[in-house]
Amino acid sequence: MKDLMNDGKYVCCIKDDCDRCALDHQNCDCAVEVKAGKPVCPDCYAGWQRGDGDVPGVAAKTVKGSFHSHQHH
């Protein structure tokens, strides 16, 4: 995951980065997607519900989870 982060391909939206997107997609745009009001992966969604969100200006109650076909662009 560190390699993905160093390459700018992994931008998680919770304090302790999840590894769901790295394992499933080899990249992560959840921080970008949560800012845009788009759904995030299930692990990030759960993190937001625990109070672990890490994107300034985004409230946990506005975060949407994608539990079926989460896709990065």
User: What is the reported pTM?
Assistant: 0.79
Q: What does the alpha-carbon distance between residue 3 and residue 62 come to, in Å, rounded to a whole number? A: 30
Q: What is the pLDDT of residues 29-58, one digit of tens each?
A: 899 999 999 999 999 999 999 999 999 999
pLDDT reported for residue 8: 59
Residues forming beta bridges with residue 17, ordered by sequence position: none
Which residues are 10's β-sheet partners? Answer: 28
At 66 the pLDDT is 82
Q: Say how many C-beta atoms besides its own lie within 10 A of residue 60's C-beta.
A: 13
What are 16-26's pLDDT values in tens digits? 888 888 788 78
Contact (Cβ atoms closer than 8 angstroms) between residue 15 and residue 52: yes
